[in-house]
Amino acid sequence: MDQGRAKATRRRSRWVLGGIVLLLFLTIVMVAYAAPQTQGKRWGKLRGQPIAFSHKTHADKGIDCLYCHSNAPRGQVASIPSVEKCMGCHQVVTPRRRRSQMEVEKIRDAWARHAPLRWEKMFDQPDFVYFSHRPHVQAGLACEDCHGDIGRLDMPKPDYSMTMGYCLDCHQKQAPEKVAKLTDCATCHK
């Protein structure tokens, strides 16, 4: 009987061990799959982005974020600029570097074909969250407060830290008369 119980215990341990190994294996696969997209350095070459666009290049020239993302102070989404807006400068502005010239050519080509550019979304909120840029920008927040130092990066990293806690951290620090509304569930989960 004792022998039988010992056998059964060993068998169970093997199952548990097998499960842990499987879990570890799956985790490694997941991390390996995600790694190139979350830790790479050359963001402009990201699979899915139509143009190796550099925020740093444009911010260094002194272009304000809101010049391109002009919808942020007045709308729900900040908006990606239209091809027409890119062409506003790039019909006359051609970069010096050959590789950059090729990227600008892609915009000119899209404009000539009247074809939209398809950008992969880097910052997102789940569908059950109602978020609008307008009150945040109008409250005086800088883009960098939430989006990080984008102006010093070529392409922003996908940011998964914009969680509810992240929002509430800031909402709770607001003026006392605003806190009740800003921490109310229905403010964001309409």
Partner 1 sequence: MSKQGITRRQFLQGTALAGAAAVISGCTLSLQKKEYLEPYVDMPEFALPGESVWYATTCRECPAACGIIVRVHQGRAKKVEGNAMHPVNEGKTCARGQAALQALYNPDRLRAPVAQSARGSRQFTSIDWNEALNTLYQLISETDPARIAFFGGDVPDHVLWILETFFAAIGAPPPVIYSTHAAWEGKRALRLVNKSLFGVDRLPVYDLAHADVVFSFSGGFLSTELSPVHYNLAFGRMRGRQDTGGPRGVVVHFEPRLSQTAAPADRWIPIRPGTEGLVALALGRILLDEGWARNTAAAPFFAGVDAKELAEVTDVEYERLRHLAQLFGQAQAPLAIPGSAAAAHRGGYQAVMAVQMLNILMDNLGKPGGLWLAPDTRIDGLTPKTEPASLADVRDLVERMRSGQVDLLLLDGSNPAYGLPPEVGFVDAVANVGKVISFSSFVDETSVWADYILPGHTPLESWGYQVVDNGTDRLVISAQQPVVRPYYDTRDVADVFLFLAQALEPARAQLPWLNVVDFLKSRMEVIRNLGIPGSFALDNVEEAWAYWLGNGGWRSKEPLWSAPVLKRELSQAFNLAPEFEGGTEYPFILYPYESPTLTDGRGANRPWLQELPDPMTTAMWRTWVELNPETAYLLGVQRDDVVKVISPYGEVEAIVYIYPAIHPHVVAMPLGQGHTDYGRYAQGRGANPVQLLGGREVDVVKDLAWLSVRVKIVPTGRRQRLPRLENNAGVDRAREVGFPG
- To 5 degrees, how large is the angle CA 55–CA 58–CA 63? 120
Q: Which position has the token pair 């942020």?
A: 72
Closer residue to partner 1 (CB): 42 or 114: 114
Q: Is 92 an interacting residue with respect to partner 1 (CB under 8 A)?
A: no
Closer residue to partner 1 (CB): 96 or 114: 114
What Cα–Cα distance (Å) separates residue 159 from each residue in 2, 39, 69, 100, 124?
55, 12, 18, 26, 8
Instruction: Tell which one of 56, 58, 85, 108 touches partner 1 (CB under 8 A).
Output: 85
Closer residue to partner 1 (CB): 38 or 172: 38
Contacts 24+ apart (CB under 8 A), 141-146: 143/65, 143/69, 143/72
Instruction: Tell which one of 4, 62, 165, 176 touches partner 1 (CB under 8 A).
Output: 4
- Restricting to residues 103-132, name those near partner 1 by CB under 8 A: 110-111, 114-121, 124
Alpha-carbon distance of 142 to 136, in angstroms, equals 9
Helix axes 98-113, 83-90, angle to 10 degrees: 130
Q: Is 45 an interacting residue with respect to partner 1 (CB under 8 A)?
A: no
Amino acid of residue 107: I
How big is the site for partner 1, counted in residues (CB under 8 A)? 44
Contact residues for partner 1 (CB under 8 A)? 4, 7-8, 11-12, 15-16, 19-20, 22-23, 26-27, 29-31, 33-34, 37, 48, 71, 74-77, 79-85, 110-111, 114-121, 124, 160
